[in-house]
Amino acid sequence: MPEIQYFSKEITLSPQSEPAGKSFPAKLAYWTFGDVSNPAVLLPSCYGGTLATTTPFLYSTDEGNKPVFPTSKYFVIVTGLLGGGESSSPINAPDPWKGADFPHVTYEDNIRLQYALCESLGVKKLHAYIGFSMGGQQAYHMATLYLDFVEHMVCLAGSARTSWHNWSFLEGPRNALVHSIDFKEGRYTETPLRGQRAFMRVYSTWALSQGWYRQKCWEQLGFKTLEEYLEAGWSGEKADGNGLLALLWTWQKGDITLYHPDDKGDLAKTLGRIKAKCLIFPSRTDTYFPPEDNEEEVKHLQKGEFRCIETVWGHIAGGGGGTKEDTEYMKTEIARFVGAAYA
């Protein structure tokens, strides 16, 4: 693994942040690959994601993978979300921002920090901005905040605005954590394992589809039972409770219409402002970001295309967590969309 790099900048928290308008010493964790003179591609992380797990199938050659964006031809930037554990987060922030006192940051805070990073690297335009889940939402926000900065935007299993159904789903794991006996209103001195385990177990069912469970797809991953699968991947032991809530708050507040008050919350109007070529790419069985919402979004984009992964692997298929066929389909369509030589 390459060493994590950090971009530090004192930022003014956005109007939707809490506390709004305050100065915050932000650190953005990132990797870069390739030469900055080549077309730039930015890949932002998702909920629970790290730099290492952020869509590596798009640029890495590890394990024989054929990348869409070989680093010999593209300048690839991978960034971590504020709150995600590598960038500024409750677990690593200095006083007075540590732990439960970490600010409620927004997508706007993240995107403006990423844009500042690009400026510092000498990137004047992104050939592509591609994100999965919360990364897909960031893709919409970057394309809305900086209308002339992104040439191609790809939203994988995300949305322009967090729906009320999505918001309500997130209330389930949130309440499981905050009401656990060991969470202590975020001022714990030992990892709140009971609360984090409860959070993850509530969260896990939504990440996949009913068909996935019906077909016992955990067996394809080498697990004999569902319980074995859940213990291995959804125990919550490696998480940080305050970090989980910080990211969740950002997710719940996602709404690109906030940047254009004159649109008065009319998503169609705000979508119509986006100049980037957009590929909106959900999973058919995603319970967080259903394809029906994305189909409606594409109707209002100036240059929008819709593709859908036909899979039982639910939400996680959009991040490369589905079948090889699912991931290959995404790679082929993304390459076609951005004009990359991939076959």
What is the DSSP code string of 208-237?
A: S-HHHHHTTGGGGGT-SSHHHHHHHHS--T
Catalytic residue among 109, 286, 293, 326: 286
Q: Is 315 a catalytic residue?
A: yes
Q: Which position among 87, 133, 159, 180 bears the catalytic label?
A: 133
204 is catalytic: no
Single-letter amino acid, residue 33? F
**40 token code pair:** 């730039």
Q: Which two tokens stand for residue 88?
A: 């500024």
Q: Are 315 and 157 in contact (CB under 8 A)?
A: yes
Per annotation, catalytic residue among 180, 240, 315, 326:
315
- For residue 277, give the 3-state DSSP assignment: strand
Contacts of 328 by beta carbon, 8 Å cutoff, 6+ apart:
none
Residues 311-324: b if buried by 16+ CB within 10 A, e if exposed? bbbbbbbbbbbbee
| CA-closest candidate to residue 139, choices 115, 120, 158, 124 | 158
Annotated active-site residue 109? The verdict is no
Is 133:157 a contact under the CB 8 Å cutoff?
Answer: yes
Residues 6+ apart with CB under 8 A from 284: 291, 308, 309, 310, 311
- Residues recognised as catalytic: 133, 286, 315
